[in-house]
Structure 1
C-alpha cells in the first residue's frame, strides 16, 4: 500500500469539526508544511471548518516556522488547547493565534503539557480521565481560571475538582482526537518512522496511539522516504501500523532556525570550545548566583530565560558534566541550547519521549529546577504565564506547572524590577534608575506556581535577582543576601509591594559574582541516595 500523499491530498482528508492532535514544540518538530496546506485549503474552499486542535508542548509562530499561525483563521479554528503559545521575532505584530485568543475569536485553553500527554494516554486506553494534583491552587485549578484563556473558554470547563479517598484532586476528561499530525525524519514504504535528524522525539507515538485506538487517521510529515526493510527495528520510534499517510517535506527545518545540525540530533558531539560563553552582564551575575544553588551529580531541569545560561556558567568554571540537564522536550545531558533553539541540546546523552519526561517531572524524580519569574507575591506564588498590561501576550506555561508541582528544590530567577537600569562597576551593583513596574506584588495576576502548596509540601524555594536572594518560609519571603552596593531600604524593601522578612544573618552576595573573570564555583556533592531518598 502506498501511503505517500501530497500535502494538499492529506489536507483534503480532514473533515469539518475534527479534533486534531499536532506534535511540535514551537519550531522544534513542527509539521509546518501540513499546517500550511490545511490553511491554504481553507482559504480556497472554506473547509475544513470548526476544528479543535491539541498542541501538548507548544503551538506558536516562531522565526522561520509559522506553525499554528497557518491555521489561525476565523471559521477554520474553533477551539485550541495548548501547553504554551510562544512567539518568535518573525513579525512586528503579535502572532495571529495570540490575536484570536485575545479577541475571544477562538475557545482557548492552556493545559499543562504533561497533563495534555496524560489525556492522550487516557484516550488511547479508553479510561475515564486524568486524576492529578498537578495544578492545584494555580491557574489550572477551577477555583481560579480552570485553564481558560478567555471568556469563551470559561463557559466550557475542561477540569473539575473532585474528592477521592478523602483528598482533593483535579480531574480532566480525555479528549478524543480524530486526526494526528506528527513529524519524523524518515518513513519507509510501510510508514515506519525514525527520528535520526530530530532534536527530540516529543510525543508523536502517544498522539498516534490515541488516534489509532479511536478509529482516526495519522498523518506523518517526514524529510524523506526509504525502502521497506531498510530500517533497523530499534531505530523505529513510531511503527507503521499506527501511520496511515506520509507527506514529504525535503526542506523541513530541524528546529526554529536550524536546517540541520547533527549535534542537536546526537549524531556527533561539538567540542566544548565551540560553545559561546555568556558576556559579562547583569543576567550573567544572576545565572552565576543560581549556579551556586546546585549540587554535583544532580539531575537538574532548566526553563527558558536567565537560567538557561547556567550550563554555560558551569562550562566556563570547568564543571561541565558535574550536573545532568533534563528538559521537557526530552534531551538528557549535553548543553541545552538558547533563545529560540531552546528545547534542544547539543551533545545530549539520551533522548526521552516527552510524555515519559513529564512523568519523571510530575513525580519529582529529579533533584532541582531552575526557572524564571515575571511576578512574585506575598505568598511566594509566581506568575510566568500572563501579564494583561501587555496586550495579546498569551504565551502560557508549557510544562512549568508539571515541573514545579512536586519539585524538591526550585530556584526562580529574574530582575527585581521590570525596566530598571542597572550595571556593575567596581565589583558593586549600581542602580541608575528604578523600573516603572514592580515585580514583587501583593497578588500575582496569574498563579503559575503556588507558594502555599510549596509550604504545605515542604519544597525548597529560592528566588535570585540581581540585587538580592530570597527564600520562601512559612512566615513569608525571607531576604537572605543583598548585592554589594545596594541599599536595603531604598533598593529592596521600598521596591516591594509587601513586607519582606529580613534574615537576622543577612549576608552580602559573593563579591566574585560581580567581576568578569571566572569566580571559582565549587559544587558540593549531592548526598548518596538511599532507599528513602
Structure 2
C-alpha cells in the first residue's frame, strides 16, 4: 500500500539524530526550505538536540541577517560545515573563524557534483577545479581554521596529469524543496525559480539509508502530476512538509513571480538604463569583451551591470547569458532573485550546469574581485577579516575560455565624477584592491598563464592584462594620471609599456554603437588600398581578437580587398593597441600564412608593445614566416620601401639579361 508521507515540520525534524550529516538546498535567496530550517532551529533551542550536525551545502542559502541556514548558528547545533559560501550565514562563519566548529570551503560545483558521487556510491570526485588555489591541499585543502585537521582533498596523478580528488561525505538527511507533492511524495517544481540539486541530494541521502524531507507549497491529488513533471520521484522521499506562505516565498524579496518560474513569458522592453557612474564605466568596458554568439556567465556585483549595458546597446540577442544555478538565456535577475532569469530558455540542474562549465562550455565570464596581486592572483573568498567563501567562482574562473575580472580600483568611500568625457577621482577609496599578496588565492594567475587563458582586469580608471611577466597596464581612462591615480594606490608596480586610452565612447552618456564592434561591421573601414604604390594599409589600432571568428572576419575583409586590387599587394599593418588572446596567436599566424601564400607580395607590421611583437614573432616563426614586426610605423614603411627597391632592381636585372643574350 502507498504510504501517506505528509507530516508536520516538527514531526519530520524529530527524525534527525545528533551527529547526522544534513544537506540543504537553496541558492542565495531563492528556493530555500525555510520552514525546515526554522523547525530545526526551534527543536534545538527548546531541547538542545540534535547537536554536532555536519551541514553540507553549495551556494549560500539565506539573507545574511539570520534567515535560511543563518538560523543554524546556535552553539552546539553544528559541529562541522562543508560549504561553498559562508557569507550568507555570518554567525556560522564567525563560529568557524573562532575555531568553534570545523569547516571546509570548497568550490560550489564540486559540492554539487559530489551529491551525484554520493548517490552512486562512489568514493569521491576527480576534478582539476581548485588546483593551485587555497583548495589545493598544498595550499590549505579548503580548511577554514586550525581546528579543522582532516584532509578531504588530495592531489593525485592520473596518466601524467595532476588532479584533485575530493572525498565524498555520506549524507544522512536531505532538505529539499518543491512546489507540489502528492501523498506518495512525488514532487514537481512548477512555481520554483530553479531546480538546483534536489534530485541528486535526495538520491544521496536515500542510497545511504538516510531520510529525505521535502518542503512544498501544496498537496495535490495522487497521480495528478504528469510523469515528466515529476522532478523527484516519491520513492526517494520520506517526509513531505507543507510550509506556510511566509516560509515558502520564491525568494526573500519576492513571494512569487510567474515569469521567473517559467510559467509565462512577459514582454521585456529593456532594463532600466544605468546612470553613467563608475559602475557603468566598468560594465561598459567589460561589455567590449562579449563574444558574439557566445555563452556567458556573470558574477554578482559590478559584473551584473553588463546585462543592462548589453540590453542598452542591443547586443543581448547575440549572446546567451547563464547562471551557475541553472538558468540558460533570458534576462538574468538581480537582487534577491539573483541566479534566476525572466523568460529563460531553459532551467537545468545545478550539477549539470557545472558539468557544462567545467568542460569548457563558457566562452566568457565576468566576475568580481576583492584583491589582486602582481602575478594576477585574485581573492574573493576571504578578506578584510571576513570568511565569505568562493561560491562557484573557482569552477567558473578556471574553466571559462576567457575571464574578465571587474570592480572598482579601490573600495570603501570611492567617489568619482565624469565631466565632458573625462574621469575624475573626487575621493579615493579607503581600501586598496591591488595588493602585494592576496590574503587567499581564489584564482591563480600563473596557472592561467600556464594554460594560456586570456585574463583581463577592468576597473573604472584603467585596464590590466595578464601576461607572463604579470599584470600589464594596457588602458587608462581619459583624465586619469598614471602616477597620481593608479600607481600611488597600488602595492606593486605593473608592467607598463605603451598603455592606450580607454575607448572614449565609454565616458559619454550616449549609445556606444557596441553592436557594430562586436559583429565587426566596421572592419572594412580599417582597410585602404593605394593603387599607385600597390599598397594595402590595414589599421588594426585598438582592435581586439576575441575569438577565432574575429580572425575569420578579418581574413574575409583582407581577401576581398586583395581580390579587388586584382594583383598581389604589399601590405602594412598597424598593430598599436591591438589585443589578442595568447591562445589565438597561432590562428592569427595561420591567417597571415594564407594571405602571404595567395595575395601578398610582401607584408610588414608594427606595434609599440614589445610583448605583442615578441608573441607575434614567435607565432610567425613557428610557421616558417619572416616576422617583420617593427616598433614604429616609419621602420615598417622603410622595410617595405627597401623591399620595393630590391624587387625593382631584380626586375630591371631580369629585363637586362635577355637583351644581353640577344646582342
Q: By how many angstroms is 1:347 displaced?
A: 1.2
Contact 1:301–1:369, Cα closer than 8 Å, also in 2: yes
TM-score (norm 2): 0.76
Matched with 1:40 is: 42
Distance 1:483 1:519 in 2: 16
Distance 2:266 2:244 in 1: 25
For residue 204 of structure 1, the aligned residue among 170, 185, 198 is 198
Q: By how many angstroms is 1:192 displaced?
A: 1.0
Alignment of structure 1 residues 90-489 onto 2, 5 Å: 95-153=90-148, 155-251=149-245, 252-273=248-269, 275-387=271-383, 389=384, 391=385, 393-419=386-412, 420-489=414-483
Distance 2:103 2:61 in 1: 12
| Aligned CA distance change for structure 1 residues 511 and 478 (closer, same or farther; 3 Å) | same
Q: By how many angstroms is 1:259 displaced?
A: 0.3
Distance 2:53 2:430 in 1: 42
Q: By how many angstroms is 1:502 displaced?
A: 1.7
Distance 1:73 1:156 in 2: 24
Matched with 1:76 is: 77
Distance 1:443 1:246 in 2: 50
Distance 2:154 2:136 in 1: 8
Q: Secondary structure of the equivalent of 2:155?
A: strand
Matched with 1:11 is: 13
Q: By how many angstroms is 1:340 displaced?
A: 2.8
Contact 1:17–1:52, Cα closer than 8 Å, also in 2: yes
Distance 1:30 1:12 in 2: 20
Q: Which moved more, 1:490-499 or 1:267-276?
A: 267-276
Q: Secondary structure of the equivalent of 2:143?
A: coil
TM-score (norm 1): 0.94
Distance 2:482 2:50 in 1: 60
Q: By how many angstroms is 1:378 displaced?
A: 1.1
Q: Which moved more, 1:49-58 or 1:433-442?
A: 433-442
Distance 2:409 2:454 in 1: 20
Q: By how many angstroms is 1:437 displaced?
A: 2.2
Matched with 1:91 is: none
Distance 2:352 2:224 in 1: 28
Q: By how many angstroms is 1:491 displaced?
A: 1.2
Q: By how many angstroms is 1:62 displaced?
A: 4.1
Q: By how many angstroms is 1:433 displaced?
A: 2.9
Contact 1:59–1:86, Cα closer than 8 Å, also in 2: no
For residue 25 of structure 1, the aligned residue among 27, 34, 38 is 27
| Aligned CA distance change for structure 1 residues 320 and 163 (closer, same or farther; 3 Å) | closer
Distance 2:244 2:61 in 1: 22
Q: Secondary structure of the equivalent of 2:131?
A: coil
Matched with 2:580 is: none
Contact 1:61–1:86, Cα closer than 8 Å, also in 2: no
Q: By how many angstroms is 1:203 displaced?
A: 0.4
Contact 1:368–1:409, Cα closer than 8 Å, also in 2: yes
Distance 2:85 2:153 in 1: 17
Q: Secondary structure of the equivalent of 1:424?
A: strand
Q: Secondary structure of the equivalent of 1:398?
A: coil
Contact 2:154–2:164, Cα closer than 8 Å, also in 1: yes
Matched with 2:572 is: none
Distance 2:163 2:58 in 1: 21
Q: Which moved more, 1:395-404 or 1:314-323?
A: 314-323
| Aligned CA distance change for structure 1 residues 527 and 164 (closer, same or farther; 3 Å) | closer
Q: By how many angstroms is 1:249 displaced?
A: 1.0
Matched with 2:623 is: none
Q: By how many angstroms is 1:518 displaced?
A: 2.2
Distance 2:382 2:353 in 1: 25
Q: Secondary structure of the equivalent of 1:324?
A: strand
| Structure 1 gap segments, 5+ residues each | 88-93
Aligned length: 520
Q: Secondary structure of the equivalent of 1:127?
A: coil
| Aligned CA distance change for structure 1 residues 175 and 283 (closer, same or farther; 3 Å) | same
Distance 1:188 1:52 in 2: 30
Q: By how many angstroms is 1:171 displaced?
A: 1.4
Distance 1:26 1:259 in 2: 15
Matched with 2:543 is: none
Contact 2:291–2:364, Cα closer than 8 Å, also in 1: no
Larger Rg: 2
More helix by share: 2
Matched with 1:90 is: none
Q: By how many angstroms is 1:527 displaced?
A: 4.9
Matched with 1:503 is: 497
Q: By how many angstroms is 1:528 displaced?
A: 5.9
Contact 2:87–2:93, Cα closer than 8 Å, also in 1: no
1:518 aligns with 2:511: yes
| Structure 2 gap segments, 5+ residues each | 520-546, 553-583, 588-663
Contact 2:181–2:219, Cα closer than 8 Å, also in 1: yes
Once superposed, which parts of structure 1, at least 4 consecutive aligned residues long, lie more than 6 Å away? none
Distance 2:426 2:29 in 1: 38
Q: CA RMSD in A?
A: 1.9
